[in-house]
């Protein structure tokens, strides 16, 4: 149907024939001439309709079309125009594809602010708004670049099951589903399976897939279904995993800067490519820091939002928190050789916010089994996983980035729902 997107018109020769398709954003009728603003995914174009050329009846039919109706316009490019866009189309044929009902559930380009609940209820309409679309274009580019970096680094894409019998890290936050005569759960993370892939000799794997967590609280940075970008790599330490993560993040930012100029302008983003390596601070150093600065915290506790706020004032951009106490981390983390109270785990943070968790994993069958027991879990439910550690398991490490969390943090939106097409939260399962 279409020959060009609206943003391609300005580069064409005068007189070129084009067909554009999109939504009627606005019609200004000034008597014998009407200006129709047509919007598609890439921008807007002006269609200049002259009554003399089309006859009274046709002219009236078109100018009375409702806003947000869809049309295709075939016509000729004119660059000698006073239009702000620098180019207009003189239409020869306008196909009316679908007429929008009025009133609209919400405006697309109106300046009036609409609350987030209405926006999410009428999400298809909200997603037509250019600034909302820009957020998803940035998210798409981040995902695309991350995938590219991983592919270039020799990672194989895998797809692990999302319906499982065992909780990854114990029983909390799980969604139970009926699985014929049995109970099963929606997966919280592909952790156990991506580790099994290391035993399978796949060496380096990645997966970009939904993860499900029955989050107790309705926060602005948690979803009940999010996209987890997971990697696992063999013959590798936590240091290797951190270096890869730095590269993945830096490349992704560079990719957006290069490919999303319009979106960055529209969203007022002023990114610079971060320097590598990112700073590394240990858990203990930060524990000391927060205690000295008025936020009380005991060894073995996770950082509270208050503590993270304080830390975020000192470390404003990317940094790693390393050397976590084993008691704060999952059973599969590899303990440090010099002091097994600590584990080879890390979080990538941006200011006060967590983007990624990762670690070198424990690949020793006996001590892994012990750690499962220490956490109060039953090794029997992990048999299928533990089995993979008995017959030759390479040392390995990995991490998981939440795609929406990353996009939220980099674009500075206050609510993770802004960068989720159809968010699932405590109250929302529709649309």
Nearer to ligand ATP, 207 or 404 (CB): 404
Kindly state the smallest distance separating residue 252's Cβ from ligand ATP, in Å: 14
Buried-state track 383-407, b at ≥16 Cβ within 10 A, e below 16: eebbebbeeebebbbbbbbbbbbbb
Kindly state the smallest distance separating residue 357's Cβ from ligand ATP, in Å: 3
Interface region with ligand ATP, contact rule CB under 6 A, candidates 56-64, 152-160, 268-276, 352-360: 352-360
Task: Tell me: does residue 417 bind ligand ATP (CB under 6 A).
Answer: no
Nearer to ligand ATP, 15 or 210 (CB): 210
Kindly state the smallest distance separating residue 354's Cβ from ligand ATP, in Å: 5
Nearer to ligand ATP, 93 or 426 (CB): 426
Kindly state the smallest distance separating residue 330's Cβ from ligand ATP, in Å: 8
Which residue in 122, 215, 254, 262 binds ligand ATP (CB under 6 A)? 215
Which residue in 174, 400, 410, 419 binds ligand ATP (CB under 6 A)? 400
Task: Tell me: does residue 344 bind ligand ATP (CB under 6 A).
Answer: no
Instruction: Identify any residues that bridge with 228 across adjacent strands, giving them in sequence order.
Output: 209, 402
Nearer to ligand ATP, 263 or 404 (CB): 404
Kindly state the smallest distance separating residue 233's Cβ from ligand ATP, in Å: 16
Which residue in 405, 410, 423, 425 binds ligand ATP (CB under 6 A)? 405
Task: Tell me: does residue 354 bind ligand ATP (CB under 6 A).
Answer: yes
Q: Which residues, 6+ apart, have CB-to-CB distance to 279 below 8 Å?
A: 315, 318, 319, 320
Which residue in 74, 123, 213, 417 binds ligand ATP (CB under 6 A)? 213
Tell me the CB-side half-sphere exposure of residue 409, using CA atoms within 13 A. Answer: 24
Residues touching ligand ATP: how many (CB under 6 A)? Answer: 15
Kindly state the smallest distance separating residue 259's Cβ from ligand ATP, in Å: 23
Dist CA 306 CA 352 (whole Å):
9
Cβ atoms < 10 Å from Cβ of 247: 15
Nearer to ligand ATP, 226 or 389 (CB): 226
Q: What DSSP letter does each residue of 138-205 carry, written as one string?
A: HHHHHHHHHHHHHHHTTPEE----SEESS-SSSSTTPPEEEETTEEEEE-S-SHHHHHHHHHTT--EE
Backbone phi and psi for residue 194, each to the nearest 5 degrees, phi listed first: -70, -30
Token code pair at residue 330: 């999952």
Task: Tell me: does residue 308 bind ligand ATP (CB under 6 A).
Answer: no
Which residue in 72, 108, 307, 355 binds ligand ATP (CB under 6 A)? 355
Kindly state the smallest distance separating residue 302's Cβ from ligand ATP, in Å: 7
Kindly state the smallest distance separating residue 403's Cβ from ligand ATP, in Å: 8
Q: 112 burial class (0-12, 13-18, 19+ CB within 10 angstroms)? A: exposed
Task: Tell me: does residue 357 bind ligand ATP (CB under 6 A).
Answer: yes
State the residue number with the nearest CB to ligand ATP.
Answer: 402
Kindly state the smallest distance separating residue 410's Cβ from ligand ATP, in Å: 12
Radius of gyration of the chain (CA): 27
Nearer to ligand ATP, 256 or 401 (CB): 401
Interface region with ligand ATP, contact rule CB under 6 A, candidates 137-145, 249-257, 288-296, 402-410: 402-410
Interface region with ligand ATP, contact rule CB under 6 A, candidates 36-44, 200-208, 317-325, 350-358: 350-358
Q: What DSSP letter does each residue of 43-69 carry, written as one string?
A: EEEEEEEEHHHH-HHHHHHHHTPPTT-
Task: Tell me: does residue 343 bind ligand ATP (CB under 6 A).
Answer: no
Dist CA 252 CA 145 (whole Å):
5
Q: Which residues, 6+ apart, have CB-to-CB distance to 22 below 8 Å?
A: 6, 38, 39, 40, 45, 70, 71
Q: Which of residues 216-275 bind ligand ATP (CB under 6 A)?
A: 222-223, 226, 228
| Dihedral, CA of residue 162, residue 166, residue 168 and residue 171, to nearest 10 | 120
Dist CA 266 CA 169 (whole Å):
41
Token code pair at residue 400: 């998981």
Nearer to ligand ATP, 4 or 344 (CB): 344
Query: Which residues contact ligand ATP (rule: CB under 6 A)?
Result: 213, 215, 222-223, 226, 228, 354-357, 400-402, 404-405
């Amino acid at each position: 149907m279409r020959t060009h997107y609206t943003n391609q018109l300005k580069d064409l020769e005068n007189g070129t024939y084009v067909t554009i398709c999109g939504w009627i954003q606005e019609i200004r009728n000034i008597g014998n001439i009407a200006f129709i603003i047509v919007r598609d995914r890439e921008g807007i174009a002006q269609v200049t309709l002259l009554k003399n050329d089309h006859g009274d009846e046709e002219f009236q039919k078109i100018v009375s079309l409702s806003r947000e109706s869809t049309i295709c316009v075939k016509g000729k490019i004119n660059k000698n125009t006073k239009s702000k866009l620098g180019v207009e189309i003189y239409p020869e044929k306008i196909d009316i594809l679908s007429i929008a009902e009025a009133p609209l559930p919400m405006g697309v380009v109106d300046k009036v602010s609409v609350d987030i609940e209405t926006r999410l209820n009428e999400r298809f309409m909200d997603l037509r708004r250019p600034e909302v679309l820009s957020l998803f274009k940035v998210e798409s580019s981040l995902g695309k670049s991350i995938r590219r970096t991983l592919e270039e680094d020799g990672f194989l894409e895998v797809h692990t099951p999302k319906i499982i019998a065992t909780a990854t890290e114990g029983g909390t936050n799980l969604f139970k589903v009926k699985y014929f005569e049995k109970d099963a759960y929606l997966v919280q993370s592909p952790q156990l399976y991506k580790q099994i892939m290391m035993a399978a000799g796949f060496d380096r794997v990645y997966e970009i897939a939904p993860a499900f967590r029955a989050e107790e609280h309705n926060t602005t940075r948690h979803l009940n279904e999010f996209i987890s970008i997971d990697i696992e790599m063999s013959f590798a330490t936590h240091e290797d995993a951190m270096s890869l993560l730095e590269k993945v993040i830096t490349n992704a930012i560079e990719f957006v800067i290069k490919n999303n100029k319009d979106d960055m302008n529209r969203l007022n983003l002023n990114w610079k490519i971060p320097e590598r390596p990112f700073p590394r601070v240990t858990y203990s150093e930060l524990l000391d820091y927060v205690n000295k600065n008025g936020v009380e915290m005991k060894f073995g506790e996770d950082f509270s939002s208050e503590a993270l706020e304080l830390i975020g004032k000192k470390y404003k951009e990317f940094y790693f928190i390393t050397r976590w106490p084993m008691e704060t981390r999952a059973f599969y983390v590899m303990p440090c050789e010099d002091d097994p109270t600590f584990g080879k785990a890390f979080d990538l943070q941006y200011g006060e916010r967590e983007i990624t968790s990762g670690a070198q994993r424990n690949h020793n069958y006996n001590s892994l089994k012990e750690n499962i027991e220490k956490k109060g879990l039953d090794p029997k439910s992990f048999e299928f996983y533990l089995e993979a550690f008995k017959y030759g398991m390479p040392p390995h490490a990995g991490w998981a980035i939440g795609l929406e969390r990353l996009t939220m943090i980099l674009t500075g939106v206050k609510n993770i729902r802004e960068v989720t097409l159809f968010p699932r939260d405590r109250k929302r399962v529709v649309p």
